[in-house]
Chain A
Amino acid sequence: AQTVTQSQPEMSVQEAETVTLSCTYDTSESDYYLFWYKQPPSRQMILVIRQEAYKQQNATENRFSVNFQKAAKSFSLKISDSQLGDAAMYFCAYRSKTGNQFYFGTGTSLTVIP
């Protein structure tokens, strides 16, 4: 099974500042998908951003962007201009192109300080 590692259990950021959440993964496959999901307190998990491995350009969704380093097997999430509503648990996930199963990291709890 693929392994997804989030080495930062907790992070904090000042409102309006930028924060980067780290994610590394282990795979022998060349094509796959990577995702960042957000789980606000007591609320539903939602997709933040996704990246296909063969696309070299880093994905961007408004204030959220990724730094995808395929050779290093790294997929970090950058949140710019942090807002109070960004406070949540963030999960990194991997899916093989040929399979249906997702592999999730252990999550990073992000606190936004007013």
Chain B
Amino acid sequence: DVKVTQSSRYLVKRTGEKVFLECVQDMDHENMFWYRQDPGLGLRLIYFSYDVKMKEKGDIPEGYSVSREKKERFSLILESASTNQTSMYLCASSLATSEYNEQFFGPGTRLTVL
């Protein structure tokens, strides 16, 4: 079974703090994604990566950056957390070459910025 794990299920940070959310997958997937999930808005793509050190902006990249130094690990960074970044963050991964490129999701990190 594919496993996608995220470093924390719940996180509370203060405004202005630098926040790191980490995601690790164990199935040698090329693609990794960070989404933000908010009620009534569904899942919105923040960034994705299709290879080590490669990244592409999604629909809402402002205020976020990412890092992918190893194939299995994809980090989301909030350089200076703000209250409007309080949300559920989901990581996902997928193969680049499979027919459906089904995404496998982590359990999510619920981030609260005070």
Contact = CB atoms under 8 A, between A and B. Distances in A.
B105 A100 contact: no
A100 B90 contact: no
B54 to A, nearest CB: 11
Contact of A101 (B58, B90, B96, B99): B58
A103 to B, nearest CB: 8
B100 A44 contact: no
Given A1-B59, A100-B48, A33 B100 contact: yes
A95 B101 contact: yes
A44 B42 contact: no
Contacts, number: 49
Interface size class on chain A is 20 to 34
B102 interface: yes
A50 B98 CA distance: 13
Interface in B79-99: 90, 94, 96, 99
Interface string A70-95: 00000000000000000000010001
Interface size class on chain B is 20 to 34
A50 B100 contact: yes
Given A52-B100, A95-B100, 20 more contacts: A1-B59, A4-B42, A33-B100, A35-B100, A44-B105, A44-B106, A45-B90, A46-B105, A47-B103, A91-B42, A91-B43, A95-B101, A100-B94, A101-B45, A102-B33, A104-B43, A106-B40, A106-B41, A106-B42, A107-B42
Interface string B34-59: 01000011111100101000000011
